[in-house]
A and B are shown apart, each in its own frame.
Chain A
């Protein structure tokens, strides 16, 4: 194979949740390891607060690494004089009377944004900012390649920061191991962790769902990838549930100048494969969804890697 200067990054997105990003990613992971490609691919699960890729790629257990996210304010009751100077500066309604010790304030860690305004306002130095461990991340070996994944602790902030962190490690690992491709399973939505998942991507593949909601959210995610100037392709999942939706997606793609490169039929084998903990292409190679994923993977890989393809942006 022709040598490549650095790994190409493919990010899988959807806008709407539950359209089939992870099932597609798992199929791609398997397909990239097949003899025709035999790539030392690197995978990233960038949906860190609902991380599911490891449930199908079945990595060998690996040691966790700590993720230190932001800071939160804490009041030392021994130093607090209950002067109340901290209350008006908090814009997050996080400073409340302590139910247990009257006349002393308490900071609700769920509401605190970690801005430190209160700690600067406190005249007695009773408020300190405490570094939070907000999650764990892992580098694991799967039958198909190396997986970087993480668990954001429930309800925590800084999901974007955690996505950036594991992507950086994945990128370094890909460079060191001469992996030509990094496949990133993105989060739903269009906000902070999606933007982090998109950073530096060479190609975005959007899994759209053939429903009214799917069409609505497709527009928003395409606007996002277009804003960040990422070449974008679209596939339709569960295409046969609502044929009218397919027509609408086709016209959205035409309107926005985005290529629609495949359709995946509704196929219960996808759920069966998830239950079995396998990529659907491993579980039943001849299933309708498996055939569709294989055809899509060929097009995507070609776009990602071929000279004159997406990486040639000059």
Chain B
């Protein structure tokens, strides 16, 4: 079972929900938490894993073998990302523009291109005190591309068949969110009842509809803002799975690194019920 948690707008409570859910389900099967916000991962601050493994996230970039290269320029022509340029008789490589697709390598008529790994970040994993498998990607500062790291993080280790896999998505609604959601069985959309929360939720609904993944909405900071989110959800018959009212006590606890269910233990049952509801929904879909 793979559940992704996304929001569009940043700071709506994705990590709060994702860590709270992970901690609530520890007796229901092996829980795997993948922190896919590789630009600004925060799940470890709440789950406090002991990182036992670290590997580099790399993309293969071309290295021109000058003794074989005839400077024909075919590699420059086929590269869609302007990562190669021909200056005089020399072929230059720009690693930060390279997507690692391999097209230049295959198209070189002289076989003059070797691929070498270019590190763009690290992947780390380990167990939390509760036995949750936690892994995260960390994009190196000044590197532009988070998406390959997310792709590699999801392949780092294979969860057991009965695992509950929780994917904490990055904010926004672009390619890195899509990469996180690929293969998910269900998406939890965390929103807040403000015009910004609603606007960005609509962006996310566009993505889950395109990808054909079922989703439900969690309203965080319920009670602030206005009722436009509520009427939008009503009009579009979108289910609200859980509400978390705004509370200064919770905000203070989260600020200090306490989890949702440590500050407000009554949410453990709420999250477990929500999970049961999602499970039932998915299983119904499979049998019908």
Which residues of chain A have a CB within 8 Å of any CB of chain B?
14-19, 22, 47, 49-52, 55, 70-71, 89, 91-92, 110-111, 113-117, 120-121, 129, 152-157, 159-160, 187-195, 209-214, 216-217, 220, 223-224, 227-228, 238, 241-242, 244-245, 266, 268, 271, 274-275, 277
Contact = CB atoms under 8 A, between A and B. Distances in A.
Contact of A275 (B102, B194, B254, B257): B194
B40 interface: yes
Contact of A91 (B102, B107, B182, B224): B102
Contacts, number: 196
Interface of B: 8-12, 15, 37, 39-40, 42, 45, 78, 80-81, 99-103, 106-107, 139, 141-146, 170-178, 182, 194-196, 199-200, 203-204, 206-207, 210-211, 224-226, 248, 251-252, 254-257
A113 B199 CA distance: 27
A70 B147 CA distance: 16
B142 A17 contact: no
27 contacts: A16-B10, A18-B12, A19-B11, A50-B9, A89-B106, A111-B182, A115-B99, A117-B78, A120-B78, A120-B103, A152-B174, A155-B175, A155-B177, A156-B174, A156-B175, A188-B11, A188-B39, A190-B40, A191-B144, A212-B42, A220-B40, A227-B142, A228-B142, A241-B255, A242-B255, A274-B195, A277-B195
Contact of A212 (B80, B100, B172, B255): B255
Nearest to B107: A120
Given A113-B101, A216-B45, A189 B170 contact: yes
B207 A189 contact: no
A188 B252 contact: no
Contacts of B210: 110, 154-155
A50 B207 CA distance: 13
A268 B45 contact: no
A40 to B, nearest CB: 27
Contacts of A49: 8, 172-174, 203
A155 B200 contact: no
A50 B255 contact: no
A52 B199 contact: yes
B207 A155 contact: yes
A173 B114 CA distance: 45
